[in-house]
Amino acid sequence: MNFKNSGKLKAVTFSYDDGVTQDIRLIELLNKYNLKCTFNLNSELLGLKGMLIREGQRISHYKIHPDDVKSIYEGHEVAVHTLTHPRLPDIDDDTEIIRQVEQDRLNLSEIVGYDVVGMAYPSGGVNNDDRVAKLIRENTGVKYSRTITCNSSFDLQDNLYRFNPTVYHCDFDDMMKMGKEFLELKPDKPQIFYIWGHSYEMDYRPDYWIKLEEFFKLIANRNDIFYGTNKEVLL
């Protein structure tokens, strides 16, 4: 089932990038509250171990091993994040943009055993533009791609190849405020609450995992809301 034929007018979906080992803890929480998520992976970086310096501390950035991808993300959606995480608008070669996206899609499809059709643009800042979106739309099997430009809106969007999320998960106050507004909505047209982030960011501070679970408790298990992966909600 997908959102369009669910008979409901409200949908909640999550999207997390990079395929890091913190996803395991995140999935345990998502499953606890019957929530669905799309995970955007770089197939050529799977299994690599790394560290990030964030907020003055070292944060683990270990990638899920390719042999574990299918089992870890079972029940959720795996989607494209390019082969190696470049900022696509910075690439002048159209062929390389297509390769980064389509080969990642093919690699991930083989790993998970189904046709991968979703995507999230990699890198921060301005990580997408009309040229890149057109190349992806016309030359790959990707059917939607998420930006990192939050719009604080629940409205449907016409351009699925530059789809803007509602809120970033570390903006806890905004996320909770919008969550309460979403629960109170009695819409006469479809509305989508789309949350995005990286699970490793929950390691920044001791209370971040607690705050995220508080939001899950708030938003989950409502009879008038459809809970689905990005694919189930957007397509």
- Residue-wise pLDDT for 114-155, tens only, equals 999 999 999 999 999 999 999 999 999 999 999 999 999 999
Contact 229, 78 (CB under 8 A): no
CA-angle at 80, arms to 22 and 124, nearest 5°: 70
Query: Residue 23 in 3-state DSSP?
Result: helix
Average pLDDT, the chain: 98
- How far apart CA 123 and CA 127 sit, in angstroms, is 6
Confidence of residue 96 (pLDDT cuts 50, 70, 90): very high
Contact 124, 145 (CB under 8 A): no
- How far apart CA 128 and CA 142 sit, in angstroms, is 15
Q: What is the pLDDT of residues 31-73, one digit of tens each?
A: 999 999 999 999 999 999 999 999 899 999 999 999 999 999 9
Instruction: Give the class (CATH, top level) of 3-234.
Output: alpha beta
Number of H helices, E strands in the chain: 7, 8
Q: What is the pLDDT of residues 146-192, one digit of tens each?
A: 999 999 999 999 999 999 999 999 999 999 999 999 999 999 999 99
- How far apart CA 100 and CA 88 sit, in angstroms, is 9
Report the b/e string of 143-173 with b at 16+ CB within 10 A. Answer: bbbbbbebeebbeeeeebbbbbbbbbbbebe
Give the pairing of strands 10-17 and 37-41: parallel
Residue 166 is predicted with a pLDDT of 98
